[in-house]
Structure 1
Amino acid sequence: MPLLPALQAWWKEELRSPLPRTTLLRRSALCLLVLAPLMALQVQRRGQTISQEQQGQRDDTLAIMEAGLAVAGRASFDWGHWDKTYAFAQGRNPRFVSHDLWKGAVFEDGTVLILLRPDRSVALVHTAPTFQRPDFPDLIRCAQDNVGRITDTDTPLRLACREGDALYLGAATLVSNSDSTAPANSGTLVMLSPLLKQEYSQRIRNRLSTLQRDLVFLPDEGSASSPQLELIEPRIHSSGGRLLGLPRPDLLPLVTRSLLGDLPLLLAIPGLVLALRMVTQLERRRQRVRRLEVERRATQTIRSTCHALDQVFETALPDRGRADSRRILGRLSGASRSTDATGHRPSQRLEHLSERFQHVLQTASELALFDALTQLPNRRYFIEQLTETTRHHGEQQQWFAVLFIDIDKFKVINDTFGHAVGDGVLVSVCQRLRRVLRAGDFLARYGGDELAVIMDFADSSTADPEDLSTQARERAQAMVDSLSEPVRIGEQAINVSLSIGISLVDPAEQDVGLMMQRSDQAMYQAKRSRDSRIVGLDVLERTPQLGNYQLFNDLMAAIRHQQLQVVFQPIRDRTGELHGAEALARWHHPQQGWIAPTLFLDLAEQHRQMPKLGHELLCLSLDGFQQLQQRYPTLRLYLNLTPSQLLCAGLAASLLEQLQCRGLHPRQLTLELTEHSILEPDATVKQNLTQLRQAGARLALDDFGTGYSSLMLLKTLQPEVVKIDKSFTQAIHSDSGAVHIISLVAELGTRMGVQLVGEGIEDPATLNQLRDLGVPLFQGNALGRPTSLDAWLTGDQRRPTT
Structure 2
Amino acid sequence: MVVASVALSSLVLDHSVTGRVVTILAAGLLVATAVTRLLKGRRTEADLLRSLMDESRSQSILLNDIENHVDTVFWTCTPDFQHLLHVSKAFERMWQMPMSALIGDDSAWQRRVHVDDVGPLHDAMRIAIRDGIYMQSSFRLVMPDATIKWVRVDAYPVTDAHGRVERYVSVCVDVTEERRRLTQLDYLAHVDSLTHLANRKSMMDALSKACGETAAFALLFIDVDRFKLLNDTVGHMAADRLLRIIGRRIRKVLPEASVVARPGGDEFTAILPGLWSEDELGRICGRLTKVVEYPIKSGQQGLELSLSVGIALFPDHGHTREALLTSADTAMYAAKRAGRNTWRIFGAAEKNDLTRNRLEQELGSAFRNGQFSLHYQPQICLRTRKVIGVEALLRWNHPVRGFVSPAEFVPLLEHAGLILPVGDWVVAQATEALSELHRLGYPLSMSINVSAVQFRDTSIQDAIATNLRFHGLRGESLVVEITESILMDRSEAVQHALNAIRDMQVGIALDDFGTGFSSLSYLAKFRPEALKLDKSFVDDIEDDAVALTIVQGVIDLAHRLGVHVLAEGVEREGQLQLLEEAGCDSIQGYLVGRPVPFADLIVQLALEPATSASAGEHHSRA
Distance in 1 (CA, whole Å) between partners of 2:353 and 2:464 is: 34
TM-score by length of 2: 0.54
Specify whether residues 435 and 606 from structure 1 end up closer, same or farther in structure 2 by C-alpha distance, changes over 3 A only.
farther
1:536-569 CA-partner distances (Å, limit 9, x unpaired): 683434359937969976x655533545421211
Distance in 1 (CA, whole Å) between partners of 2:508 and 2:238 is: 43
Does residue 57 of structure 2 align to residue 317 of structure 1? yes
Contact kept, 8 Å, 1:502 with 1:519, in 2: the verdict is: yes
1:728 corresponds in structure 2 to: 537
2:346 corresponds in structure 1 to: 538
Distance in 2 (CA, whole Å) between partners of 1:332 and 1:431 is: 47
Specify whether residues 425 and 728 from structure 1 end up closer, same or farther in structure 2 by C-alpha distance, changes over 3 A only.
farther
Match of 2:382 among 571, 574, 592: 574
Contact kept, 8 Å, 2:514 with 2:533, in 1: the verdict is: yes
1:426-451 CA-partner distances (Å, limit 9, x unpaired): 7598579759955358776656x784
1:331-387 CA-partner distances (Å, limit 9, x unpaired): 02344559xxxxxx9998968984785467446644665376x88765434433444
> By how many angstroms is 1:649 displaced?
7.0
Does residue 244 of structure 2 align to residue 439 of structure 1? no
- 1:348-747 equivalences under 5 Å are 354=176, 358=180, 361-362=183-184, 365-366=187-188, 369-370=191-192, 379-388=200-209, 390=211, 395=215, 397-402=216-221, 438-439=253-254, 451=267, 453-454=269-270, 463-464=277-278, 502=310, 504-508=312-316, 509-519=318-328, 538-541=346-349, 542=351, 546=355, 559-562=367-370, 564-575=372-383, 576-588=385-397, 596-597=405-406, 601=410, 609-630=418-439, 635-642=444-451, 650-651=459-460, 653-664=462-473, 668-673=477-482, 686=491, 689-697=494-502, 700-706=509-515, 710-712=516-518, 720=528, 721-746=530-555
Specify whether residues 756 and 354 from structure 1 end up closer, same or farther in structure 2 by C-alpha distance, changes over 3 A only.
farther
Distance in 2 (CA, whole Å) between partners of 1:790 and 1:306 is: 86
Contact kept, 8 Å, 2:376 with 2:598, in 1: the verdict is: yes
Contact kept, 8 Å, 2:217 with 2:275, in 1: the verdict is: no
Distance in 1 (CA, whole Å) between partners of 2:371 and 2:199 is: 41
User: Higher relative contact order by CA 8 Å / sep ≥ 6: 1 or 2?
Assistant: 2
Specify whether residues 773 and 633 from structure 1 end up closer, same or farther in structure 2 by C-alpha distance, changes over 3 A only.
same
1:221-280 CA-partner distances (Å, limit 9, x unpaired): xxxxxxxxxxxxxxxxxxxxxxxxxxxxxxxxxxxxxxxxxxxxxxxxxxxxxxxxxxxx
Specify whether residues 800 and 539 from structure 1 end up closer, same or farther in structure 2 by C-alpha distance, changes over 3 A only.
farther
Specify whether residues 307 and 791 from structure 1 end up closer, same or farther in structure 2 by C-alpha distance, changes over 3 A only.
closer
Specify whether residues 526 and 459 from structure 1 end up closer, same or farther in structure 2 by C-alpha distance, changes over 3 A only.
closer
Going by fraction, where is strand more abundant, 1 or 2?
A: 2
Distance in 2 (CA, whole Å) between partners of 1:763 and 1:512 is: 50
Letter in 2 for 1:623: E
Specify whether residues 748 and 589 from structure 1 end up closer, same or farther in structure 2 by C-alpha distance, changes over 3 A only.
same
SS of alignment partner, residue 367 of structure 2: helix
Specify whether residues 433 and 561 from structure 1 end up closer, same or farther in structure 2 by C-alpha distance, changes over 3 A only.
same
Specify whether residues 690 and 358 from structure 1 end up closer, same or farther in structure 2 by C-alpha distance, changes over 3 A only.
farther
Aligned residues: 467
Letter in 2 for 1:690: Q
Specify whether residues 457 and 433 from structure 1 end up closer, same or farther in structure 2 by C-alpha distance, changes over 3 A only.
farther
> By how many angstroms is 1:584 displaced?
1.1
2:588 corresponds in structure 1 to: 779
Specify whether residues 743 and 506 from structure 1 end up closer, same or farther in structure 2 by C-alpha distance, changes over 3 A only.
farther
Contact kept, 8 Å, 1:724 with 1:759, in 2: the verdict is: yes
Distance in 2 (CA, whole Å) between partners of 1:475 and 1:738 is: 52
Contact kept, 8 Å, 2:424 with 2:460, in 1: the verdict is: no
Letter in 1 for 2:448: L
Specify whether residues 348 and 422 from structure 1 end up closer, same or farther in structure 2 by C-alpha distance, changes over 3 A only.
closer
SS of alignment partner, residue 583 of structure 1: strand
1:89-135 CA-partner distances (Å, limit 9, x unpaired): xxxxxxxxxxxxxxxxxxxxxxxxxxxxxxxxxxxxxxxxxxxxxxx
Letter in 1 for 2:57: L
Structure 1 unmatched runs, 5+: 1-299, 339-344
1:513-544 CA-partner distances (Å, limit 9, x unpaired): 223334556678899x8999999683434359
1:66-90 CA-partner distances (Å, limit 9, x unpaired): xxxxxxxxxxxxxxxxxxxxxxxxx
Structure 2 unmatched runs, 5+: 11-27, 29-52, 75-87, 98-143, 151-173, 613-622
Specify whether residues 626 and 768 from structure 1 end up closer, same or farther in structure 2 by C-alpha distance, changes over 3 A only.
same
Distance in 2 (CA, whole Å) between partners of 1:386 and 1:361 is: 22
Distance in 2 (CA, whole Å) between partners of 1:530 and 1:712 is: 29
SS of alignment partner, residue 498 of structure 2: helix
Specify whether residues 663 and 501 from structure 1 end up closer, same or farther in structure 2 by C-alpha distance, changes over 3 A only.
farther
Letter in 2 for 1:784: G
Distance in 2 (CA, whole Å) between partners of 1:666 and 1:421 is: 59
- 1:121-160 equivalences under 5 Å are none
Letter in 1 for 2:382: R
Does residue 91 of structure 2 align to residue 332 of structure 1? yes
> By how many angstroms is 1:695 displaced?
0.9
Letter in 2 for 1:560: R
Specify whether residues 638 and 453 from structure 1 end up closer, same or farther in structure 2 by C-alpha distance, changes over 3 A only.
farther
Distance in 1 (CA, whole Å) between partners of 2:9 and 2:591 is: 101
Distance in 2 (CA, whole Å) between partners of 1:618 and 1:530 is: 39
Specify whether residues 520 and 791 from structure 1 end up closer, same or farther in structure 2 by C-alpha distance, changes over 3 A only.
same
SS of alignment partner, residue 784 of structure 1: coil
Contact kept, 8 Å, 1:574 with 1:771, in 2: the verdict is: yes
Distance in 2 (CA, whole Å) between partners of 1:719 and 1:443 is: 62
Letter in 1 for 2:254: A
CA RMSD across the alignment: 6.1
Contact kept, 8 Å, 1:406 with 1:523, in 2: the verdict is: no
SS of alignment partner, residue 513 of structure 1: helix
Distance in 2 (CA, whole Å) between partners of 1:301 and 1:719 is: 105
Contact kept, 8 Å, 1:445 with 1:451, in 2: the verdict is: yes
> By how many angstroms is 1:501 displaced?
8.8
Distance in 2 (CA, whole Å) between partners of 1:723 and 1:530 is: 35
Specify whether residues 731 and 375 from structure 1 end up closer, same or farther in structure 2 by C-alpha distance, changes over 3 A only.
farther
Contact kept, 8 Å, 2:217 with 2:313, in 1: the verdict is: no
2:171 corresponds in structure 1 to: none
1:96 corresponds in structure 2 to: none
Distance in 1 (CA, whole Å) between partners of 2:514 and 2:244 is: 45
Distance in 2 (CA, whole Å) between partners of 1:617 and 1:569 is: 15
Distance in 1 (CA, whole Å) between partners of 2:339 and 2:521 is: 22
Distance in 2 (CA, whole Å) between partners of 1:476 and 1:704 is: 48
